[in-house]
Structure formats: structure tokens, C-alpha cells
Chains A and B, each alone.
Chain A
Amino acid sequence: MFFFIARRLLQAVGVMLAVGLIAFALFQFVGDPVNNMTGQDTSLAEREALKEELGLNDSVFVQFGRFIGNAARGNFGHSYRQRRPVDELIWERFSATIELSAVSALLALLIGIPMGVYTALKRHSWLSRAFMTLSLIGVSLPTFLIGIFLILIFGVTLNWLPTFGRGEVVDVGGWTTGLLTLSGIKSLILPAVTLAVFQMTFIVRLVRAEMLEVLRADYIKFAHARGLAARAVNFGHALKNTLVPVITVIGLQIGSIVAFAIITESVFQWPGMGLLFIHAIHEVDIPVMAAYLMLIGLLFVIINLVVDILYYAIDPRLRLS
């Protein structure tokens, strides 16, 4: 167990270093930061001084080391655009994105997994055919279209739900949350559904495919041959075995929810990191891009670690050695 976790952690550090390298490379590729920091009347001498002060004359390795060191402390420099520390900018937006993603992920899982199981077990019933067709339509609909149509229907036509922003938020120990106010929750519904649709349909299909594989396994046949009740076979044996491969993919999928939030956030003007990032892209605001990249990397690493530990808990074959 210790070795297992230690190895994973080591890998995680490796991944973060690699992501750091990419983020660092962004700065190197995309022009001279001094140009982005100074006005046009800054003199050459001042530029040189600034360069020296920023350490841009050091070797690339020293700079990379410093970048990683700063990043580890959450220091990503200043946004070229907003002239504020990037970590502060990101932190302001962090809770919005995380709440949106978490709720979507939950929606996707709570609806997606049962639907996947159902469609696998009742492969030929009309309901599962309907589910499968719906899920196919779900993966074929671009997220932004879903968002627009939800706004049109539930916001404008029916006037049931807010169509933009996060509603009232309250601050709970430094974490702003919209989950504790009615307007916050109402504001969350449309974006969360929009974001969840794709992931949900994806999970339905994934669970179904894996479950079908498992249902064909010899031990399922053997379980039937032992005369076990259908429920015991389907849920006690088949579902659990299905979840093993599904967990990894779902883990990755949850990571991508955060990235896909970019689209949802810009359709719903949701004040999260995605909106920040898309603005940064438009304006080539490298420090923000780099920080966001590292953050997604970190998120992935954490999710993976959790998935691995879950794996470890579910699958006894890993516990050996």
C-alpha cells in the first residue's frame, strides 16, 4: 500500500513537472514578456533592467527551476491583461467552476450509471433503445447549442430559471458558494444540466458497453449456473466488475468536465475559471493560460490518485505484492 501510494505520488510529481514544462514553454514561445509588460515609450535601458530584474537573462534551466518553484507556491506572476496576481484571479473563479463541475459530474453519474446498467440488462427493451438513441443524440449535440436552447426555453420562454451568472453567493470560510442560496441553486441548474448532458450520455454508453462485456464473462454464467437470483448476479457480480474499468474513464471524464466548463461558462456568463481562460486565450494572456494549465494538470493528478485508491479498494488483485 505504501509503495503503491508512493509510486503514484512520484508519478504525479512527474506529470506536474511535465505540465510545468509545457506551461513554461508557453512563455518562451509566445514572445518576450517584457514587451507585454512595458509601454511603447519604455526605454531600452529600462527594458534591460526589467529583464535583469525578472531574471530573463538567466539560463533556461534556472528560469524553469524558478518557474516551477514559484508555481509550487501558487505564484504564477501577474496577468498581462488585468495586472493582478494570477493566483488571486484564479482563486476568485475557482469555487464557481468547481461547484458547477461537481454538480454536473454528480448529475452525470447519478443518471448515467443507472441508465447504462438498465440498457445493458434490458438490451432489447424499447426503453433501452430509447435511452440509447437519446444518448446518441446527446453525444451529437454540441454543448453550446444545448445551452442556447435551454436558455431560450427555460429562461426566456418559460421564465423559470436564471440564464446567466451565479446568483447570490455566500462566503463560507473563504470559499464562495452559490449552493446555500435559492437564487444560487436556481442559477446553477441550467449550466449544470448543459454541462452534464454530454458526460452523462458518454457514461451511459460506457457503462453499457462494459457491462455487456462483463455479462458475457464466464463467472457470470457460472453464477447463473449456481442458481443465484438475478439481482445478486447483476448487481453483486456484474455491476461491481463493470465499475472497475469504468472508474478510470469516469475519472478522466470528470477531469474533462472542468475543461468543458469553458463552453458552458461562456454561454451562461458563469463567472468561473473557464471564462477567465477563454478571455486569456483571446488576449494571449500567457500567465493566466499557464496557471490554468497547471491547475487542470493538478486536478487531473488528484483525480487520478483518487481513482487509483478507489481501484485499490475495489479490486483485490491490486492489493497483492
Chain B
Amino acid sequence: MARFLDSDLWWDFKHSPLVMTSAAITALMFLVALFAPQVAPYDPFDMASIDLLDALRPPAWAEGGSVAYLFGTDDQGRDVFSTILYGSRISLLVGFLSVIMAMLIGVLVGLIAGYKGGWLDAVLMRIADIQLSFPAILVALLIDGVVRGILPRGAHEELAVLVLIVAIGLSFWVQFARTVRGSTLVERTKEYVLAAQVTGLPDTLIVFRHILPNVMGPVLVIATIQLALAIIIEATLSFLGVGVPPTSPSLGTLIRIGNDYLFSGEWWITVFPGLALIVLVLAVNFLGDWLRDALNPKLR
């Protein structure tokens, strides 16, 4: 910890108000999403607490608004503020878990391919190439489509979040795999690895204890940037109607629903979730961007 506080990274961080703001926003949105049930004034997933008669209230400060509903209510009488909190929760959940999944797969594949080399490397990297030719959104759509076909009718909706995580995760692993493989190829020939080999350490130990910590830097950068992308993709899929169902809406679903009210004057149904999405993604992107520059010694 002391080492961290003393590091250039931390110094850099402290001297960039923009980055600190982004970090604060990200942290805030995370916390708020995490503690949505505690923070949100209402539970939008609890059908019993929603009253249709409260529907379409404008934001608190607008005419006809009520302080009970800060950002107004949607067509079902759900508090927009609460739905945003719960929606971010789902967006972040999907984003996080899918990136972690992609990271696990990618790092593992990258380490194996880079360390073992040979035909295994060739095969894994060809698979990665093929995967890379199918952009995330397409892979996610396809997996979603296939799952719709395989799962019994109705089950899909329940598993929607899981399907999204798997779909996005599966489409993201390549970035990690390629980067890790690249770094592993470099690390593998470094003498500390040779030293470990001379000591007689088994490969698994070398890979996980020695190489892995040394290739994690870029992985973290990618993870941040992918997180932002995953959140967008989840929103996009939900917008296209193949994401999470509207009864437990994510930010994307909220925007899709609100979209129907764009012309009728109930702008708050779509604008606030839209802003929340943009602010969240922007903050995460800012962090990732900064981290990438900060961790790249050549850019100093």
C-alpha cells in the first residue's frame, strides 16, 4: 500500500482533477448500484409497490412534479430515479461479470498460448482471429439467438442476464488473450523465468506465480475499457429488444421504453437513464484512458 501511495500512478491521479472526478463518479455509481435497495426510494421490481396512478409524473422541479419522485415516473408509475439505480445495477452487473469472464478465459488462453507456443498457440490464435472477426455485438446477438432457440420458451427471459453475461464475455476474451499472449511471449524469454525453470519449478507455478503478475498491467487497462464497452453493448442489446426484459429493466431497456415517449413530451423517461448511461460509460472510459497512459512508461 505504501508502495502504491508512493507510486507515480497515485501522484498522477492526484494531480488530475478530471480523472479524480471520473473516479469519484464511477465509485459513486458503483456504490449506489450496489446499495440500490438501500438507497432507492422505491423498489421498481416490486410490482406490488407500483401504482399505475402515479404514472408519468414529471421531474420534481417541473410543473406537476412531486418531490416524492425526483426524476418523475415512467408509464407504469415507477420512480425514474429508482429505476435508474436498479438499472445501473443490472448494467454494471452484466458489465462486470462479462468482463471478468472474458478476463478469465482470455488470460488463461493467452498464458497457455504464449507460454506453450507451438501448435497449441497457433490453434488458439487462429480461433482468436476468427472470434475477432465477429464483433461483440454480433456474437452477443448470435448467442442470444441460439439460446432463444435452445432454451424452452420462457426460460430465456429468466436467464436473460446470464445469457447477456456469457454472450458479451465470450465476445470479449480475444482482446485479453492477444495482449496476454504478447506479453507472455516477451516475459517467457526473460531471465527471471529461465531462473525459475532452472530451479525446477513446474510450468503451472511459473506461469501463475511469475508470469501472470507481470502481464496483468495491460489486462487491467483493457478490462476498464471493456467494462465501458460491455455496458454499452448490454444497453444496445436491450435496446434492440434482445436484452433484459422490461420488468427488470437495465439502463438500455429504460432508454428503449422511454424512447416511445420522446415525442409526447415525457422526455424524462428516456433522458435521465440516457444521461446516467453516458455519464457512467464516460467516467469509466476516462479512467481507462488515463490508466492506459499512466501505465505506459513510454508516454510519460
Q: Do chains A and B touch in the complex (CB under 8 A)?
A: yes
Residues of A within 8 A of B (CB): 11, 14-15, 18-19, 26, 29-31, 136-137, 139-145, 148, 152, 156, 212-213, 216, 252, 255-256, 259-260, 262-263, 266, 277-278, 280-282, 284, 286, 289, 293, 296-297, 300-301, 304
Residues on A with beta carbons closer than 8 Å to the beta carbon of B228: 139-140
The 8 lowest CB-CB distance pairs between A and B, nearest first, are: A30-B149, A300-B133, A256-B135, A281-B145, A140-B282, A259-B135, A259-B138, A140-B281
CA distance A304 to B255 in the complex (A): 36
CA distance A26 to B132 in the complex (A): 19
CA distance A281 to B145 in the complex (A): 5
B242 near A282: Cβ-Cβ < 8 Å: yes
Residues on A with beta carbons closer than 8 Å to the beta carbon of B248: none
Given contacts A29-B149, A281-B242, A289-B145, contact A140 B133 (CB under 8 A): no
Verify if B289 is at the interface (C-beta below 8 Å from A). yes
Give per-residue flags for B192-224: 1 if the beta carbon is below 8 A from chain A beta carbons, else 0: 000000000000000000000000000000000
When the two chains form the complex, which single residue of B138, B242, B277 contacts A142, counting CB atoms closer than 8 Å?
A: B277
CA distance A216 to B297 in the complex (A): 12
CA distance A260 to B171 in the complex (A): 14
CA distance A18 to B236 in the complex (A): 28
A-facing residues in B269-300 (Cβ within 8 Å):
274, 277-278, 281-282, 285-286, 289, 298-299
Given contacts A136-B285, A289-B145, A296-B134, contact A142 B240 (CB under 8 A): no
CA distance A136 to B282 in the complex (A): 7
B286 near A136: Cβ-Cβ < 8 Å: yes
Residues on A with beta carbons closer than 8 Å to the beta carbon of B145: 280-281, 284, 289
Give per-residue flags for B132-154: 1 if the beta carbon is below 8 A from chain A beta carbons, else 0: 11110110011011101110000
B255 near A14: Cβ-Cβ < 8 Å: no
When the two chains form the complex, which single residue of B138, B239, B281 contacts A144, counting CB atoms closer than 8 Å?
A: B239
Residues on B with beta carbons closer than 8 Å to the beta carbon of A29: 146, 149-150
CA distance A277 to B128 in the complex (A): 24
Residues on A with beta carbons closer than 8 Å to the beta carbon of B246: none
Residues on A with beta carbons closer than 8 Å to the beta carbon of B66: none
For the residues of B in contact with A, the DSSP-based class is: helix
CA distance A29 to B129 in the complex (A): 24
When the two chains form the complex, which single residue of A26, A145, A213 contacts B298, counting CB atoms closer than 8 Å?
A: A213
Residues on A with beta carbons closer than 8 Å to the beta carbon of B129: 15
CA distance A19 to B142 in the complex (A): 13
B126 near A142: Cβ-Cβ < 8 Å: no
CA distance A137 to B262 in the complex (A): 22
Given contacts A29-B150, A137-B282, A140-B278, contact A262 B130 (CB under 8 A): no
CA distance A18 to B125 in the complex (A): 13
| Additional 9 contacts, C-beta under 8 A, given A30-B149, A140-B278, A144-B236 | A14-B126, A18-B126, A29-B146, A30-B146, A139-B285, A142-B278, A256-B137, A262-B141, A277-B141
Residues on B with beta carbons closer than 8 Å to the beta carbon of A26: 142, 146, 149
B236 near A143: Cβ-Cβ < 8 Å: yes
CA distance A9 to B286 in the complex (A): 41
CA distance A244 to B281 in the complex (A): 30
B240 near A263: Cβ-Cβ < 8 Å: yes
What distance in Å separates the Cβ of B59 from its nearest Cβ neighbour in chain A? 19
Closest to B148 in A: A284
Residues on B with beta carbons closer than 8 Å to the beta carbon of A142: 232, 235-236, 239, 252, 255, 277-278, 281
Residues on A with beta carbons closer than 8 Å to the beta carbon of B282: 136-137, 140
